[in-house]
Homo-oligomer: A and B are copies of this chain.
Amino acid sequence: MAPKINGTGVMPEDTRICVVMVGLPARGKSYIAQRAQRYLKWLSIPAKTFNVGNYRRKDAPHPSADFFDTNNAEGERQRRAAANAAVTDMIQWFKTGGVVGILDATNSTKERRKWVLERLSKEGIEVLFVESKCDDEELIMANIRDVKTTSPDYQGQDPEQAALDFRERIRHYEKVYKSINDDNDEDHLTYLKIMNVGKKVFINRIQDYLQSRVVYFLMNLHIRPRSVWLSRHGESEYNLEGRIGGDSLLSHRGEEYARKLPELVRQSVGSDRPLTVWTSTLKRTIATARHLPKHYNQLQWKALDELDAGVCDGLTYQEIADQYPEDFQARDEDKYNYRYRGGESYRDVVIRLEPIIMELERSENILIISHQAVIRCIYAYFMQKPQEESPWVPVPLHTLIKLTPRAYDTLVEKYDAKIKAVSTWRGKGSTAKHEDPTPEGGI
Judged by a CB distance under 8 angstroms, whether A92 is at the interface is no
A window 333-364: CB within 8 A of B: 341-342, 348, 351-352, 355-356, 359, 362
Give the CA-CA distance A355 to B202 in the complex, in Å. Answer: 23
**A202: which of B201, B219, B289, B303 is its contact (CB, 8 Å)?**
B201
B6, A300: Cβ atoms under 8 Å? yes
**How far, in angstroms, from A212 to B359 measured CA to CA in the complex?**
10
- A302 close to chain B: CB less than 8 A: yes
| Mask: chain A, 288-308; 1 = CB below 8 Å from B; 0 = not | 010000111111111100001
Chain B hits for A8, CB < 8 A: 355
Indicate whether A279 reaches chain B with its CB closer than 8 angstroms: yes
A204 within 8 A of B: yes
Known: A212-B362, A219-B212. A4 touches B199 (CB 8 A): no
**Does any Cβ of B come within 8 Å of A262's Cβ?**
no
Q: How far is the CA of A308 from the CA of B343 in the complex (A)?
A: 9
Contact A297–B212 (Cβ < 8 Å): no
Q: Which residues of B contact A6 (CB under 8 A)?
A: 299-301
* A352-B7 Cα distance, complex, nearest whole Å: 11
- How far is the CB of A258 from the nearest CB of chain B, in Å? 14
A300 touches B200 (CB 8 A): no
Cα A3 to Cα B280 with chains together (Å): 11
Q: Check A256 for interface membership: any CB of B closer than 8 A.
A: no
CB < 8 Å neighbour of A1 from B245, B297, B351: B297
A75 to B385, CA, bound (A): 65
The answer to whether B205 and A199 touch across the interface, beta carbons within 8 angstroms, is: yes
Q: Are B301 and A7 in contact (CB under 8 A)?
A: yes
B7 engages A286 (CB within 8 Å): no
Contact between B351 and A9, CB atoms less than 8 A apart: no
Q: Which of under 10, 10 to 19, 20 to 34, or 35 or more describes the interface residues of A? A: 35 or more
Residues of B within 8 A of A352 (CB): 352
Q: Return the chain B residue nearest A14 by Cβ.
A: B297
CA distance A8 to B300 in the complex (A): 10
How far apart sit A42 and B202, CA to CA, in the bound complex (Å)?
A: 29
A116 within 8 A of B: no
A302 and B212 form a contact (CB under 8 A): no
A438 located at the interface, meaning its Cβ lies under 8 Å from any Cβ of chain B in the complex: no
A281 within 8 A of B: yes
Is the CB of A332 closer than 8 A to any CB of chain B? Answer: no
Q: By the criterion CB–CB under 8 Å, are B204 and A7 in contact?
A: no
Give the residues in chain B near A7, CB-CB below 8 Å: 301-303
Interface residues of A in 243-290 (CB under 8 A from B): 245, 247, 279, 281, 286, 289
Q: How far is the CB of A259 from chain B (nearest CB, A)?
A: 18
Which residues of chain B come closer than 8 Å to A362, judged between CB atoms? 209, 212
Q: Which residue of B lies closest to A348 (CB)?
A: B302
Q: Are B295 and A1 in contact (CB under 8 A)?
A: yes
Q: Quick check: is A330 within 8 A (CB to CB) of the other chain?
A: no
- Give the docked Cα–Cα distance between A202 and B342 (Å): 44
A203 interface residue, CB < 8 Å from B?
A: yes
A290 to chain B, nearest CB (A): 10
The reply on A121 being an interface residue by CB < 8 A is no
Extra 4 A-B pairs, beta carbons < 8 Å, given A245-B342, A247-B341: A7-B303, A9-B359, A200-B202, A216-B219
Spell out A's residues near B (CB within 8 Å): 1-9, 11, 198-206, 209, 212, 216, 219-220, 245, 247, 279, 281, 286, 289, 294-303, 308, 313, 341-342, 348, 351-352, 355-356, 359, 362
* Pairs A-B, 5 closest by C-beta atoms: A3-B298, A201-B203, A9-B359, A5-B300, A7-B302
